[in-house]
């Protein structure tokens, strides 16, 4: 490797230099350092070339051929050919024609693989050694191996040999370039500059480089410029301007400009423009995301606004919707983040849509619809405070905000929203913890809203107060197993309608109270296989509202009017009795405590059974049955005792003077006491688990599969009840099919007592005595839910491993990075997700027959189909309800990739809305679009 350093002042004036320098094949690249005159530049200039270097000492010129590069301070230029004038400090860089590159005598050397060239070690050289190597190179002497110049040429260069300039802040490619290292000014022709995803093409450009001066700024002045996000050599579109000024990493300022598509000017003209290209967060205008026209709302702009970076950790985005008929909307979006502390975002929106309606008289009137939405998400880093957490997930809206302002299936079909803001703190070194929650839930179909403001819990983890730390025996004493646990709760609940949220006092219908729960238990092992657990609990609830029911014996009779044949006289005859009195419910204010206590004793064990276990032949290798029976005895006092004042009585029908018991805490926050009297019951529960072992010939291994996840049977018997001592027998269970893709849940209820065929109520007569059967079928339900993708179906049919996937549609793919490969028909639909929900219910009719009713039977699908590398079809939702025999909100869309443009269409036929657009794909010019749509407001007229 040749290295050298040239000082133009030290070269002898009478030295004769050859016209060209041809090096032996063993020299892969020529490198050196040239020092300009002391009155020109302040530093050395590194240079290198792959093919040849020519020194013209008479004219003080240096010619660099083949992957030439020059580096001065922070500036670097690379090109096929560079000429440097040592006197004027001007470098000229150009691209060589392909014919000259092919005739290059050192082309074979340039194409030599890098691994075939020995990489010598770096050895610093003195000035005398550098001068000697330089003179030897002029005479064709190869420098000794093992030495190379320490200063390397810049690695950035264009493969086609076009000049490339880089000063640390500005980079661009040009066809021809002239640059003065002293004045830091340059001129380029047919330049291409890339700034913040924008490509700037200019025919002639002058630039001033700031270099290492931190107080100066780079400026680029261009003529006949086109700004685009298209990376094609000849852009498919762009904004063309005659004059332009670029401040790198800040902004592009253009004069009068117009949009040009495929080289054809369009009528879209702007007098001037500012395009921010700053790196990082900067203030700036946000162009509208959509241009709309609606028969109801008129012309409008959607999501036009301004962006504010509010420091290092916060930002703010203000967006607005403006329509000509007076409709408007405003949104505020903010993201915040602090490393190792927290992160989150908040979105607030308000919409005032003005439409037209027709009243009963046929008059058209303006109907404003106001709606509000707030979404907040906050997470705390676990490393911030290990004993204290704060999280938030808020989704709340009024008056169907999303259904009114959007048409996509995900927003339109969602009618349930919930929120939770939670704070929790653990007190280190103690068993105590406190948590506070603010919750919200709503249904946009019924307009019901419920708030929990707040829900405070104070808890004490289970402790063992009699446990000794100085115990010598490893086995604890029986009293050391006694545990104690406490939970306190403060709750305030509000129920309202979303239309009354801001017009009615929020706490008018509030329900609030305080609850204390203290329980103690212990667990002992007896007879080796049995666990016995005694427990007692005490609960005290403080209420500030109770109810009182009174009977109003108001008899209401409806009359029918009967006219005579001549229509002169008429009579009124009683038709039907609509009411035999009513029960009036009043709310009483005042403090009232509710105290309850219970005692229980439970016995449990686990029984294992098997069938065929140990088989060595065939695919079936046995069944395993696990039974977990539990028997418990429960006691609770009689809360109907008049001395307690928890229960009262009220008549309900003037035809029946009997008074029915009710609790004054009916519907209370923490529940109400039982009105069935004292309870001394024996409860039983039998939980079953069935597993099978099968042999797989595919991988010659035995696998366990669950036949039933659980089958549970439970009931009770109350010894002190005056009637109906036996409860109903409840049976429930669940299982899975097709490797977990289908879930089946079932429940059944059987009753040992008969029922009244008129009122359908249980009567105190055993079914065995009346019908000769032990149990009477009461009701049953089965739910089968299936959710799977087409790719999972294919793997299931092939016997391949299937993993459960709960993700839905991944959105339309329109990126150019998608691979262009052949796909089978199932590959096209592999992202499609199918879901089917079937709910069946059986009930006993009055005549004793079983009636089957299909409560739910619907199928839905959503996903994407990549028809071609540039065509994508999206199915937001297509469903069919077999019960009502109708489609459930189909939503279809497609996108055509047009390189730097994209064309799309979305259609919701059931809602009657559609949208069509052609737009630029990438920021910051994505506001260039041609939309056409029909909004949901236009179909309500």
Highest mean pLDDT among 196-200, 800-804, 809-813, 836-840: 836-840
In degrees, rounded to 5, the angle at the alpha carbon of residue 699 between the alpha carbons of residues 694 and 701 is 40
Residue 335 CA to chain centroid, in angstroms? Answer: 15
In degrees, rounded to 5, the angle at the alpha carbon of residue 880 between the alpha carbons of residues 876 and 885 is 150
In this structure, the chain runs to a length of 941
CA-based torsion, 635, 640, 643, 644: positive or negative? positive
Number of helices followed by number of strands (H, E) in the chain = 8, 53
For 674-709, what is the HEC assignment? CCCCCEEEEEEEEEEEEEEEEEECCCCEEEEEEEEE
Q: Is the peptide bond before 454 cis (omega within 30 degrees of 0)?
A: yes
Report residue 141's pLDDT band, with 50, 70 and 90 as the boundaries: very low
Section 109-117 average pLDDT: 37
Is the distance from CB of 323 to CB of 300 less than 8 angstroms? Answer: yes
The pLDDT tens digits of the residues spanning 34-57 come to 544 445 556 777 888 888 888 888
* Helix (H), strand (E) at residue 771: helix 767-771
**Residue 455 to residue 435: CA distance in whole angstroms:** 8
Burial letters 642-662, b for 16+ CB under 10 A, else e = eeeebbbeebbeeeeeeeeeb
Task: Output 617 or 441, whichever has higher pLDDT.
Answer: 441
Where on the phi/psi map is residue 876: left (φ > 0), alpha (ψ -120 to 50), or beta?
Answer: alpha
In 719-849, DSSP assigns E strands to 729-737, 742-751, 753-755, 762-766, 776-789, 833-844
Report residue 487's pLDDT band, with 50, 70 and 90 as the boundaries: very high
Q: Which 3 state secondary structure label does DSSP give 758? A: coil
The pLDDT tens digits of the residues spanning 202-241 come to 777 787 766 555 545 566 777 788 888 888 888 888 888 8
Query: What is the DSSP track for 312-328?
Result: SSBEEEEEEEEETTS-E
CB burial class (10 A; 0-12, 13-18, 19+) of residue 229?
Answer: buried
Task: Output 587 or 793, whichever has higher pLDDT.
Answer: 587
* Helix (H), strand (E) at residue 402: helix 401-405
Where on the phi/psi map is residue 655: left (φ > 0), alpha (ψ -120 to 50), or beta?
Answer: alpha
Task: Output 123 or 437, whichever has higher pLDDT.
Answer: 437
Rg (CA), the chain: 42
Report residue 138's pLDDT band, with 50, 70 and 90 as the boundaries: very low
Q: Where are the alpha helices (DSSP H) in 456-572?
A: none
CB burial class (10 A; 0-12, 13-18, 19+) of residue 496?
Answer: buried
Q: How many CA atoms lie within 13 A of 72 on its CB side?
A: 24
- Say which residues have a Cβ less than 8 Å from residue 70's Cβ, sequence separation at least 6: 45, 46, 47, 64, 76, 77, 82, 84, 91
Other Cβ atoms within 10 Å of 387 Cβ, number: 10
Predicted TM-score (pTM) of this structure: 0.63
**Residue 155 to residue 78: CA distance in whole angstroms:** 9
Is the distance from CB of 18 to CB of 55 less than 8 angstroms? Answer: no
Per the structure block, which two tokens stand in for 558?
């409806």
Section 60-78 average pLDDT: 85
Task: Output 604 or 448, whichever has higher pLDDT.
Answer: 604
In 36-74, DSSP assigns E strands to 45-49, 52-56, 61-72
Q: Percentage of the chain with pLDDT > 90?
A: 18
Is the distance from CB of 194 to CB of 228 less than 8 angstroms? Answer: no
Task: Output 154 or 454, whichever has higher pLDDT.
Answer: 454
Q: Is the peptide bond before 717 cis (omega within 30 degrees of 0)?
A: no
Per-residue model confidence (pLDDT) at position 142: 33
Query: What is the DSSP track for 817-885?
Result: TS------HHHHTTT-EEEEEEEEEEEE-TTS-EEEEEEEEEEEEEEEEEEETTEEEEEEEEEEETTTT
936: closest CA among 885, 903, 891, 874? 891
Burial letters 698-734, b for 16+ CB under 10 A, else e = eeeeeeeeeeeeebebbbbebeebeebeebbbebebb
Per-residue model confidence (pLDDT) at position 425: 92
Report residue 751's pLDDT band, with 50, 70 and 90 as the boundaries: very high
- Report the DSSP pairing between strands 5-7 and 30-35: parallel
**Residue 609 to residue 605: CA distance in whole angstroms:** 13
The pLDDT tens digits of the residues spanning 630-658 come to 999 999 998 888 888 899 888 888 877 88
Report residue 733's pLDDT band, with 50, 70 and 90 as the boundaries: very high
The pLDDT tens digits of the residues spanning 278-333 come to 666 677 778 787 777 777 777 888 888 888 888 888 899 999 988 888 888 999 99
Residue 19 CA to chain centroid, in angstroms? Answer: 67
**Residue 375 to residue 135: CA distance in whole angstroms:** 75
285: closest CA among 251, 259, 249? 251
Q: Which 3 state secondary structure label does DSSP give 15? A: coil
- Report the DSSP pairing between strands 753-755 and 701-718: unpaired
Report residue 124's pLDDT band, with 50, 70 and 90 as the boundaries: very low
């Amino acid at each position: 490797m040749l290295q050298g350093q040239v000082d133009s002042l030290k070269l002898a004036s009478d030295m004769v230099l050859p016209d060209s320098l041809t090096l032996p094949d063993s020299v892969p690249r020529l490198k050196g350092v040239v020092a300009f005159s002391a009155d020109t530049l302040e530093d050395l200039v590194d240079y290198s070339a792959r093919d040849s270097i020519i020194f013209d000492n008479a004219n003080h010129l240096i010619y660099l051929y083949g992957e030439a590069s020059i580096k001065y301070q922070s500036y670097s230029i690379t090109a096929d050919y560079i000429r440097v004038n040592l006197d004027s400090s001007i470098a000229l860089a150009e691209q060589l024609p392909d014919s000259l590159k092919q005739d290059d005598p050192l082309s074979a050397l340039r194409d030599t693989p890098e691994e075939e060239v020995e990489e010598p070690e770096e050895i610093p050289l003195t000035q005398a050694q550098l001068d000697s190597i330089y003179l030897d190179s002029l005479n064709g002497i190869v420098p000794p191996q093992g030495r190379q110049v320490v200063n390397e040429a810049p690695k950035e260069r264009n493969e086609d040999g076009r000049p490339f300039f880089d000063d640390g802040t500005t980079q661009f490619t040009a066809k021809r370039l002239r640059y003065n290292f002293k004045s830091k000014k340059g001129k380029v022709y047919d330049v291409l500059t890339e700034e913040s995803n924008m490509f700037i093409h200019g025919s002639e450009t002058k630039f001033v480089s700031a270099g290492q001066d931190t107080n100066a700024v780079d400026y680029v002045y261009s003529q006949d410029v086109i700004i685009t996000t298209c990376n094609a050599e000849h852009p498919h579109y762009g904004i063309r301007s005659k004059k332009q000024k670029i401040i790198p990493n800040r902004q592009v300022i253009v004069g009068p400009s117009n949009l040009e598509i495929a080289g054809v000017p369009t009528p879209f003209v702007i007098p001037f423009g500012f395009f921010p290209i700053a790196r990082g967060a900067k203030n700036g205008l946000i162009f509208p995301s959509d241009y709309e026209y609606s028969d109801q709302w008129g012309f409008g702009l959607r999501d036009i606004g301004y962006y504010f970076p509010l420091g290092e950790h916060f930002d703010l985005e203000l967006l607005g919707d403006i329509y000509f008929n007076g409709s408007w909307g405003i949104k505020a979006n903010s993201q915040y983040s602090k490393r190792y502390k927290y992160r989150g975002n908040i979105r607030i929106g308000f919409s005032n849509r003005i439409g037209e309606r027709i009243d009963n008289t046929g008059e058209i009137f303006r109907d404003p619809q106001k709606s509000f939405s707030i979404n907040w998400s906050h997470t705390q880093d676990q490393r911030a405070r290990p004993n204290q957490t704060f999280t938030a997930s808020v989704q709340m809206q009024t008056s169907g905000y999303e259904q009114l302002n959007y048409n996509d299936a995900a927003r339109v079909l969602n009618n349930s929203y919930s929120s939770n803001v939670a704070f929790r703190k653990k007190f280190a070194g103690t068993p105590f913890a406190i948590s506070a929650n603010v919750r919200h839930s709503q249904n946009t179909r019924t307009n019901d809203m419920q708030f929990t403001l707040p829900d405070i819990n104070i808890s004490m983890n289970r402790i063992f107060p009699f446990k000794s730390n100085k115990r010598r025996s490893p086995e604890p004493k029986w009293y050391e197993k006694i545990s104690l646990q406490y939970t306190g709760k403060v709750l305030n609940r509000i129920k309202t309608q979303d239309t009354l949220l801001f017009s009615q006092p929020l706490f008018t219908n509030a329900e609030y109270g305080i609850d204390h729960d203290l329980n103690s238990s212990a667990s002992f092992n007896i007879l080796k296989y049995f666990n016995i657990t005694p427990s007692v609990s005490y609960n005290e609830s403080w209420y500030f509202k109770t109810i009182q029911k009174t009977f109003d014996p108001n008899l209401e009779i409806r009359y029918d009017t009967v006219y005579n044949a001549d229509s002169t006289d008429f009579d009124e005859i009683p038709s039907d009795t609509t009411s035999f009195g009513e029960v009036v419910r009043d709310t009483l204010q005042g403090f009232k405590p509710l105290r309850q206590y219970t005692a229980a004793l439970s016995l449990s064990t686990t029984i294992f059974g098997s069938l065929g276990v140990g088989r060595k032949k065939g695919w079936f290798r046995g069944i395993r049955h696990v039974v977990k029976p539990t028997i418990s005895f429960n006691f609770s006092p009689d809360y109907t005792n008049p001395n307690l004042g928890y229960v009262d009585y009220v008549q309900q029908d003037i035809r029946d003077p009997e008074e029915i018991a009710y609790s004054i805490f009916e519907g209370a926050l923490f529940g109400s006491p039982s009105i069935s009297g004292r309870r001394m019951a024996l409860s039983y529960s039998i939980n079953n688990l069935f597993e099978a072992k099968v042999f797989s010939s595919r991988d010659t291994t035995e696998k366990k599969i669950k036949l039933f996840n659980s089958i549970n049977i439970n009931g009770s018997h109350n010894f002190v009840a005056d009637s109906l001592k036996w409860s109903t027998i409840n049976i429930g269970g669940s299982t899975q099919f097709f490797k977990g893709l289908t879930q089946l849940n079932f429940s059944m209820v059987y009753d040992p007592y008969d029922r009244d065929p008129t009122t359908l109520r249980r009567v105190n007569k055993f079914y065995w005595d009346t019908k000769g059967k032990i149990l009477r079928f009461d009701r049953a339900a089965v739910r089968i839910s299936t959710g799977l993708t087409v790719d999972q179906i294919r793997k299931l049919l092939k016997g391949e491993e299937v993993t459960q996937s709960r993700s839905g549609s991944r959105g339309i793919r329109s990126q150019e990075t998608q691979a262009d490969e052949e796909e089978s028909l199932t590959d096209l639909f592999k992202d499609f997700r199918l879901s089917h929900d079937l709910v069946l219910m059986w009930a006993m009719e009055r005549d004793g027959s079983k009636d089957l009713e299909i409560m739910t039977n619907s199928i839905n699908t959503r996903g994407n189909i990549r028809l071609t590398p540039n065509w994508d079809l999206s199915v937001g939702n297509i469903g069919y309800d077999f019960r009502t025999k109708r489609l459930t909100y189909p939503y279809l869309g497609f996108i055509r990739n047009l390189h730097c443009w994209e064309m799309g269409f979305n259609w919701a036929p059931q809602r009657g809305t559609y949208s069509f657009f052609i737009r630029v794909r990438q920021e910051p010019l994505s506001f260039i679009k041609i939309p056409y749509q029909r909004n949901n407001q236009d179909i309500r007229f």
